[in-house]
């Protein structure tokens, strides 16, 4: 069941149009924190400590300058607003790859950081498809898209999985600051906060909307990676997906009796070439303070990246050129 705190997360001011613009103090602080050469994270955490303030924030120009629902309780939202960027290594890859007219699919879209960045990059001639199963987070995603009048974006309140049916979603901790940890589970009995959500095979959904080619697919599903890939079999064989950004969650996979090697084996079998993004302590710090570097600065060998707790990987279809000797 969804807790009362979860229900209220998007109740007051839940509709984007009810939110007020960022207050003056927040804009002033952001103009300073985005330029800090060190200590940025500590300053942002201190500024936002115990605050539940929520307003319409604005992304920096490099990300498209779009407005978004910014809750200071949401770590990713406050990093985008006060820090200038979040998930910098993956964003760098998306910004480098996506061009006007391309197609992007966001599986596990959350409130839409990648969706909004992709919409900016592909423009009105391109197409963006975003999937987010959690009802409250989906409401934020939908509002963010509507507020910016992004006609090239289609959003779906479904989980990408291995079947067109329903799945159990273990919801994130609404009292915490990481709102991106909701995950599909086999049995909801072990989770305190669960709900039933619709699931779709990605292949059937894309067929239904007529999206034949995906230039970049992002998958961040907190341990359900194998389920998503199981719903992509035909497309992987046909090289429907040119590039895939795939975050792996070894511990969450292990809870379901799965292994990282099982997941990446599906891609390797179809000839996809794998690389990793540097998420070492040094790599994260480099990206955090220099978010506009080219993604080549963060690419490393797949095996090296698989040693990290949460491997962030890149997969290129056989018809795409590789990155040379990494």
pLDDT at residue 178 greater than cutoff 60 = no
Taking Cα atoms as reference points, which of 122, 170, 116 lies closest to residue 143? 116
**Tens-digit pLDDT profile for residues 246-287:** 999 999 999 889 999 999 999 999 999 999 999 999 999 999
pLDDT at residue 1 greater than cutoff 70 = no
Count each helix (H run) and each strand (E run) in the chain, helices first: 14, 14
pLDDT value at residue 165: 96
pLDDT at residue 176 greater than cutoff 70 = no
Sorting pLDDT into bands at 50, 70 and 90, what band is 182?
Answer: confident
Mean pLDDT across the chain, nearest whole number? 91
**Tens-digit pLDDT profile for residues 46-64:** 999 989 899 999 999 999 9
pLDDT at residue 290 greater than cutoff 80 = yes
- Average pLDDT, stretch 300-320? 96
Return the CATH number of 87-316, one of 3.90.1150.10, 3.40.50.720, 2.40.50.140, 3.40.50.150: 3.40.50.150
Chain centroid to CA 270: 24
User: Taking the domains of the chain in order of start, what are their residue ranges?
Assistant: 13-85, 87-316
pLDDT value at residue 183: 82
C-alpha separations of 292 from 79, 106, 167, 287 in Å: 15, 21, 38, 8
pLDDT value at residue 285: 97
- Give the DSSP letter of residue 64: T
pLDDT value at residue 324: 80
Q: What are 81-85's contacts with CB under 8 Å, separation 24+?
A: 81/22, 81/26, 81/30, 81/57, 82/26, 82/29, 82/30, 82/33, 82/34, 82/44, 82/47, 82/48, 83/33, 83/34, 83/40, 83/41, 83/44, 83/288, 84/34, 84/60, 84/291, 85/60, 85/291
Residue 30 dihedral angles phi and psi, to the nearest 5°: -60, -35
Sorting pLDDT into bands at 50, 70 and 90, what band is 175?
Answer: low
pLDDT value at residue 185: 84
Please indicate, yes or no, whether the overall pTM of this predicted structure exceeds 0.85: yes
Distance between the two ends of the chain, CA-based, in angstroms?
47
Spell out the alpha helix ranges (H) of 167-259.
Answer: 202-209, 225-230, 233-237, 250-255
Tokens of 178: 């990481």
């Amino acid at each position: 069941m969804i807790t009362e705190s979860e229900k209220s997360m998007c109740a007051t001011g839940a509709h984007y149009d009810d939110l007020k613009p960022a207050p003056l103090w927040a804009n002033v602080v952001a103009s300073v924190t985005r330029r800090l050469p060190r200590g940025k994270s500590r300053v942002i955490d201190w500024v936002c400590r115990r605050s539940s303030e929520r307003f319409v924030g604005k992304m920096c120009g490099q990300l498209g300058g779009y407005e978004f629902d910014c809750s200071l309780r949401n770590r990713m939202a406050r990093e985008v607003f006060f820090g200038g960027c979040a998930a910098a290594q993956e964003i760098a890859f998306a910004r480098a790859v996506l061009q006007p007219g391309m197609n992007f699919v966001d599986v596990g879209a959350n409130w839409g950081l990648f969706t909004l960045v992709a919409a900016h990059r592909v423009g009105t001639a391109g197409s963006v498809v975003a999937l987010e199963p959690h009802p409250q987070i989906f409401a934020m995603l939908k509002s963010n898209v509507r507020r910016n009048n992004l006609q090239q974006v289609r959003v779906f309140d479904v989980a990408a999985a291995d079947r067109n049916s329903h799945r159990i979603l273990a919801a994130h901790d609404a009292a915490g600051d990481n709102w991106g940890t909701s995950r599909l589970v086999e049995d909801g009995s072990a989770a305190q906060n669960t709900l039933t959500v619709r699931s779709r095979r990605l292949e059937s959904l894309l067929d239904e909307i007529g999206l034949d080619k995906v230039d970049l697919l992002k998958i961040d599903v907190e341990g359900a990676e194998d389920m998503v890939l199981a719903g992509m079999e035909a497309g992987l064989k046909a090289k429907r997906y040119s590039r895939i950004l795939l975050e792996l969650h070894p511990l969450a996979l292990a809870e379901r009796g799965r292994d990282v090697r099982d997941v990446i084996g599906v891609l390797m079998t179809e000839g996809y070439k794998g690389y990793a993004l540097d998420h070492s302590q040094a790599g994260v710090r480099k990206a955090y303070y220099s978010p506009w570097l080219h993604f080549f600065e963060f690419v490393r060998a797949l095996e090296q990246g698989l040693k990290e707790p949460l491997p962030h990987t890149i997969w290129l279809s056989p018809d795409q050129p590789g990155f040379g000797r990494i």
